[in-house]
Amino acid sequence: MSKRDYYEVLGVSRTAAEDELKKAYRRAAQKFHPDRNPGDKAAEASFKEAKEAYEVLSDGGKRRIYDQHGHAAFENGMGGGNPGGGFHDVNDIFGDIFGDIFGGGRQRGPRRGADLRYVVELDLEEAVFGVDKRIEVPTLVACKPCDGSGAEDGKVETCGTCRGRGQVRMQRGIFAVQQACPACGGRGQTIAKPCKTCHGNGRVQDEKVLQVKIPAGVDTGDRIRLAGEGEAGPPGAQPGDLYVEVDVRAHPIFQREGNDLYCEVPVRFSQAALGADIVVPTLEGEALIKVPHGTQTGKLFRLRGKGVKSVRSHGTGDLLCRVVVETPVNLTARQRELLKDFDATFEGEHGARHSPRSSGFLDGVKSFWDRMTS
């Protein structure tokens, strides 16, 4: 099956700038990401297709080759590799296989900044309805005086040792391997006058302040990826990504299970016996449940659509109210007398029909003891 044109995959023109490519890829990734489409093979294939297209078009060298030769360039190993492989020459093959053994590697230029993880605590209401959160992330950021270049005067020169590649080829016996250039540390550039603030590193320790949009329906363990908001890379390198992980605090009334919410509703035994209309809380206000006469502890009443709207689908969960029949305390003398009179009405052979669970329990106990003593 022939591959679709990479520009068509991302929905951009052939003259699209880097920012436009990045935005198009983000849209596609958010739409087709496997986490948002669990079990959807078509979405997974579209996600991989968009990722492959962006990896080629965001690389200037690969993009020029693709514009000239199309997919055939990478299928035949042209241009230093394709999304699946390919090498310049036999030395590159050995360098790729044995680079780790000899401390080398094929990466050119400095490594991108590290990815970061930040845990944001949310109230249940914030997680259910979504919220904008201001966070402060301690990390390495680009040095402002030198604009991240590491040079006091902003001037950097191409390294004469590696000629800007950031890698040098070393002969180790019969193998030729590549490793980071010792003269520039893999940057591919040298600095004559290092910045006095960052001492030529291009980065300083600081706090990055961000406004994060938390979508409605998230739950503990969900992660939000903020591309390029991680640790700043060294001069000439891209920054890492920031992963904001959600942790929802315990709620005094509701417990969440998936997209459903649960709560316990205490009722007086007279309400449970006679039936009553009970007002219960929801995250959107109050609701009414009709408790029929003879209701027992543990009875669940379902309020459809009063739960959580899923962040991954269009479905909304339910609110399930569990009735708990509450025993009265601090009784007055009058109330005690009334209860005694009421309890006396259960004596005799007619009491069992008013307390079916109690009668069944006593029958079970009697049967148990008969078996134990026989």
Closest by alpha carbon to 211, among 202, 192, 224?
224
Alpha helices in the chain (DSSP H): 6-10, 18-32, 41-57, 60-69, 72-75, 90-98, 124-129, 269-274, 333-344, 356-373
Q: Are 210 and 137 in contact (CB under 8 A)?
A: yes
Question: Which is it for strands 276-282 and 260-268: parallel, antiparallel or unpaired?
Answer: unpaired
Give the residues across from 276 on adjacent strands: 291
Q: What is the DSSP string of 214-240?
A: EPTT--TT-EEEETT-SSPPSTTS---
Interatomic CA distance for residues 53 and 74, integer angstroms: 12
Query: What does the alpha-carbon distance between residue 31 and residue 35 come to, in Å, rounded to a whole number?
Result: 10
Phi and psi at 25, nearest 5°, equal: -65, -40
**CB atoms inside a 10 Å sphere around CB 49:** 17
Annotated binding site for Zn(2+): 143, 146, 159, 162, 181, 184, 195, 198
Q: Do the Cβ atoms of 180 and 166 come closer than 8 Å?
A: yes
DSSP secondary structure string for all residues of 261-312 = EEEEEEEEHHHHHH-EEEEEEETTEEEEEEE-TT--TT-EEEETT-S-B-SS
Binding annotation = 143, 146, 159, 162, 181, 184, 195, 198
User: What is the rounded distance in angstroms from the CA atom of residue 159 to the CA atom of residue 155?
Assistant: 13
Structure tokens at 298: 């543990």
